[in-house]
Structure 1
Amino acid sequence: MPERTIAIGDIHGYDVPLEALLARLSPTADDTVVILGDVVDRGPNTRRCIELLLQLREQCRLVFIMGNHEEMMLSAGNDPRVAESWLGFGGRDVVESYDGDLDNVPAEHWDFLRSGREHFETDSDIFVHAAVLSDLPLDQQPTDALRWMKTTGREPEHSSGKRVICGHTAQRSGIPRTWPGWVCIDTCVYCDSGRLTALDCTQNLLYQADHDGNPYGPADL
């Protein structure tokens, strides 16, 4: 099998669909798997999601992009005032996955969260958590755009000519949103009928799994 670049959308603590997707994709040492951020918060098992990604790091090249929810969790770990507001944005689910206390988060998990990158790019694609400003090169993008800006489906193509692969803006239909130069693969895994989505960017194939780990795809993008 030729080497692949695979992007996985917002995981939000849903370990069962993540494990199902990884089993379906079977990444090898030749593959690059790009995690688009928001691994944490809202779902039932953030702890196990991070453990699965740490294991995945031993199998393939893993690129982890920091999302706004990782940013909030890291801030909460340093400032009790931030922690109080973070709990209402899904942080309470994270704490429960660590047996009710952030002090139980292993150092390796904090290190993983801190390792998150702002962006990643290949010869054909740009990977970010949220969005990019079309007229700025990647190294000049503001953090607010990369981690927090919602997309509308009307954003222009990036000046580099590369396709932007992003998450962050939840597609409650469960279907990735595509428009010229962009693909958003946050398919609202935390919704009642949500799914976790992976995109094999090399072959433009979509893979999904639901809350119970039932697989769907591959399907053409």
Structure 2
Amino acid sequence: MTRIREHGIRVVGDVHGDFNAFRHATATDRFIIQLGDLVDHGPDSAGVMELMLELLEQQRGLFILGNHDRKLGRALEGRRLRRDPPLEETLRQISLPEYEGLPERIYGAIDQAPTWLRIGRSLFVHGGFHTAMLSLPPMPGLGEMSAPLSRALFGETTGRMQPDGYPERRLTWINRIPEGMTVYVGHDRRSTDGRPWRRTGRLGGTAVFTDLGAGKGGHLAWIDLNEP
């Protein structure tokens, strides 16, 4: 991509409806790679999606599919699924009269969004790394679930629930990242100092966690890369 060669990349973490922060993050000549979970929780998921669609149409950026984006896509398909308050609020926002045609445009973008993306020695994914991502093209996010797709969307879980009601997650996948490779993820809020959280695995590869709680009482993170 010409923009990447000329201006580099800005990696943007989970947005969750924080339109003002996303507007600031995208005010750059860099190519935007947003790591998923654009919607739900924050005040303006409709505005966030409208801005993301502009970036796509102008070929100034893309988003990696997150689990919240996938759930919205499945709801727009008419699938039967557990409807939680954040999803219901997102559906209400995008269906307001001033956003005529927006649900259809959002569905088209979700249907085409990559579930992971590799550029050079960098890999961009929402939930977590799977070794199959090194050899397979991104799988359709609204299709049947598989081990690589589950890892891409949800990370790695233990099968147990935490006291807060969310699945307990583990990070053994970091140890499978090859030396010299960096995997940029969202989804899992690990930072304790307000900055992206970095960990190096046993093989020498690195994971960078960018979810700092935007739309949920935290803030939006982004990282600028010149040579991915």
Tell me which interval the TM-score lies in, with the shorter structure as reference length.
0.7 to 0.9
Aligned counterpart, 2:142: none
Q: Give the CA deviation at 1:200.
A: 0.6
TM-aligned CA distance change 1:104 to 1:3, over 3 Å = closer
Q: Give secondary structure in 1 for the equivalent of 2:198.
A: strand
Instruction: Name whichever of 150-159 and 65-74 sits farther off.
Output: 150-159
- TM-score w.r.t. length of structure 1: 0.76
Aligned counterpart, 2:63: 64
Root mean square deviation of aligned Cα: 2.9
Tell me if structure 1 keeps the 8 A contact 2:184–2:209.
yes
- Name which of 177, 192, 196 aligns with 1:176: 196
Q: Distance in 1 between matches of 2:227 and 2:219?
A: 21
Instruction: Tell me if 1:10 matches 2:18.
Output: no
Q: Give the CA deviation at 1:59.
A: 4.5
Instruction: Tell me if 1:147 matches 2:150.
Output: no
Q: Which runs of 5+ in 2 are unaligned?
A: 138-146, 157-168, 201-205
Q: Give secondary structure in 2 for the equivalent of 1:74.
A: helix
Q: Give the letter aligned to residue 212 of structure 2.
A: T
Q: Give the CA deviation at 1:105.
A: 4.1
TM-aligned CA distance change 1:99 to 1:76, over 3 Å = closer
Q: Give secondary structure in 2 for the equivalent of 1:196.
A: coil
Q: Distance in 1 between matches of 2:107 and 2:25?
A: 24
Q: Give secondary structure in 2 for the equivalent of 1:170.
A: coil
Q: Give the letter aligned to residue 127 of structure 2.
A: A
Q: Give the CA deviation at 1:3.
A: 2.0
TM-aligned CA distance change 1:136 to 1:7, over 3 Å = closer
TM-aligned CA distance change 1:197 to 1:105, over 3 Å = same
Q: Give the CA deviation at 1:14.
A: 1.0
1:129-170 C-alpha deviation (Å, 9 max, x unpaired): 111124762517610001111464552151374110110102
Q: Percent identity?
A: 22
Tell me if structure 1 keeps the 8 A contact 2:133–2:148.
no
Q: Give the letter aligned to residue 143 of structure 1.
A: L
Q: Distance in 1 between matches of 2:223 and 2:75?
A: 31
Q: Give the CA deviation at 1:68.
A: 0.7
Q: Give the letter aligned to residue 175 of structure 1.
A: R
- Name which of 196, 200, 208 aligns with 2:224: 200
Q: Give the CA deviation at 1:15.
A: 0.5
Matches within 5 A, 1:1-221: 2-23=6-27, 26-27=28-29, 31-79=30-78, 81-82=80-81, 85-88=82-85, 90-99=86-95, 105-134=102-131, 137-139=134-136, 142-150=148-156, 152=170, 155-159=174-178, 161-171=180-190, 173=192, 174-180=194-200, 181-192=206-217, 194-202=218-226
Q: Distance in 1 between matches of 2:32 and 2:135?
A: 20
Q: Give secondary structure in 2 for the equivalent of 1:143.
A: helix
Q: Give secondary structure in 2 for the equivalent of 1:121.
A: strand
Q: Give the CA deviation at 1:10.
A: 0.7
Q: Give secondary structure in 2 for the equivalent of 1:81.
A: coil
